[in-house]
A and B are shown apart, each in its own frame.
Chain A
Amino acid sequence: MLQILINSLINGLAIGVTALAFTLVYRPTGVFYLALGGIYALVPHFALWSISRGVPWGVACVASMALGVIVSCSCEVFSHSRLNHKGSPVINHLIASLGIYTILVQLIVLIWGSNTKVFRSEQDRLFEFLGLILTRSQLIAGLTLAVVLAALGTWIKASKLGLLLRGLAFNPTEMQLIGHPVPLLRLLAFGISGGLVSLVSLLIANDVGFDPFGGMSAILLAVVAVIIGGRDSFIGPVLGGIALSVVRSTASWYSPKWQEAVTFLLLGFFLLFVPKGLFNRSTRMEADS
């Protein structure tokens, strides 16, 4: 059972960081950023292609993360900011984002094929302590994601840019009125989001492999984590991701084929009965109206 909990914790951190990447864009811009799924799939494919061309793996990882950031910023520049200028409703952003996701996935399939790929050709190294067995990829993923979460949390809470992003999430119109560069802040949110999801994608790809269609399910899990944890909290999506991962692992312990059903039952339950999530900050009644 402890082994399941540790595995769930590591998977939950990955879901949590992806959920943060999603909320970083969703809260300030209102964009339901499904194109992140395409970036999630694109980054490891590009990294593997670079490595196969003789690029050192460290450089390949950094280059592929940079590609993720560029693609994410391009989504804002060429799609969402233009829709925003036209005053399009949020549903148009969602459809546009879904379209970008589809284009990215089809491009990946055209260029690199649709088969599942792996970074490692040999078996992963195992570490055993306190009766628990962890692979090297799991350890790297867990530690990296924990450090990134701590750094991101500190940056958002303590830095001026973090403050501006939080302000943008609460009232973008007022931010614009008092002279803050809202378009640049939006671009920054898209860039950070792309970078975060690229990192998670590389770490998970190193652990379990990757394919062109895995991005959407990763993003949907992240969205479920956001809804469970609460949209207005930093730690909520992370804890929501861990809780979701524990529930999914427990469900798969009993019957793996009902894992997805459990996830979407949870989504339905939270949307209908706890729409603000578990870790949302309480606000005064008039603040919600």
Chain B
Amino acid sequence: MSYLFHLAIFFCMYSILALSLNLILRFCGYLSLAHSAYFAIGAYAYALLTLTYGWSFIPVVLAAAALAAVLSLFLSLPAWRLKGDFFVMISLAVQSLTFTTIFNWASPTDPPGSWKNLTNGSYGLPGIPKPDILSVKFDTKDVILLIASLLLLVFFSIYYVLIKSPWGRSLIALRDDDLAARNLGKSPRLFKIQVFRNRMQYGGSRRGALRLVCWVY
């Protein structure tokens, strides 16, 4: 039963991640390999804020999602100029640079989480405290599954509303015929920025939720 819970939790988590990736791949036609970079940024933001500053769960998840969303704008800027394979390459560059920075921002003589040893390199950040919301501890798999399912439901509802809204239809129009959509007064730049921001908020929140899973194990 425990293993089934484990599978169900990961199903929920990866479904949210797939929704976020689909937002940009399906509606903008961009394949981004930088998703894992924002995933990592969300995780490290969560770990550092709880370990170093003692923040509680909900503010940390919101901060991690906001940070990932802001940083994703750096990727959306070149998206105005690059398309197809070359967009994939720039996203790969972002992913590799993020990985290298996280991997190398370490100093064995300083404590983990300090400025010189922010990520602790390949050893990671151990001892992240277990979360609690309104004094309720999330430390069993059934509670985690409940939270993960709720998150999936919330994100799926948001996704559904977005794609069925005029905003979603505008995105499809921009993907299918950029020029025609522009003639109708739709701005490709603005829409791309909005998609990237929404996508990274999904990724960042999902990462915070995945942290819940890590605490259980």
Binding site for B on A (CB under 8 A): 32, 89-91, 94-95, 220, 223, 227, 257-258, 260-261, 263-265, 267-268, 271-272, 275
Contact = CB atoms under 8 A, between A and B. Distances in A.
Contact of B84 (A90, A263, A265): A90
Given A91-B31, A264-B93, A271 B100 contact: no
Query: Which range contains the number of B residues in contact with the other chain?
Result: 20 to 34
Given A91-B29, A271-B78, A272-B78, A265 B85 contact: no
A275 B29 CA distance: 20
Interface in B144-179: none
A32 B88 CA distance: 10
B96 interface: yes
B88 A94 contact: yes
A90 B31 CA distance: 11
Nearest to A26: B85
Nearest to A223: B89
Given A91-B31, A267-B89, A260 B100 contact: yes
Given A91-B84, A264-B96, A264-B97, 17 more contacts: A90-B85, A220-B92, A223-B89, A257-B100, A261-B96, A261-B101, A263-B96, A264-B92, A265-B93, A267-B89, A268-B93, A268-B97, A271-B82, A271-B89, A271-B93, A272-B81, A275-B86
Contacts of A91: 29, 31, 84-85, 88
Give the top 7 A-B pairs by smallest Cβ distance, nearest first: A264-B93, A261-B100, A264-B96, A32-B85, A268-B93, A267-B93, A257-B104
Nearest to B94: A268
B101 to A, nearest CB: 7
B90 interface: yes
B97 A265 contact: yes
Contacts of B90: 267-268, 271-272
Interface of B: 29, 31, 78, 81-82, 84-86, 88-90, 92-94, 96-97, 100-101, 103-104
A227 B87 CA distance: 12
A32 B92 CA distance: 14
Contacts of A258: 100, 104
27 contacts: A32-B88, A89-B29, A91-B31, A91-B85, A91-B88, A94-B85, A227-B86, A260-B96, A260-B100, A261-B96, A261-B100, A261-B104, A263-B96, A264-B96, A264-B97, A265-B93, A267-B92, A268-B78, A268-B90, A268-B93, A268-B97, A271-B78, A272-B78, A272-B90, A275-B81, A275-B82, A275-B86
A95 B104 CA distance: 30
A261 B86 contact: no
The interface centre, meaning the residue of B78, B81, B86, B94 with most chain A CB atoms within 10 A of its CB, is: B86
Contacts of A275: 81-82, 86
The interface centre, meaning the residue of A91, A260, A263 with most chain B CB atoms within 10 A of its CB, is: A91
A272 B97 CA distance: 16
Contact of B86 (A263, A265, A271): A271
Nearest to A93: B85
A94 B81 CA distance: 20
A261 B97 contact: yes
A53 B101 CA distance: 44
Nearest to A262: B100
A94 B31 contact: yes
A237 B170 CA distance: 40
A258 B96 CA distance: 11
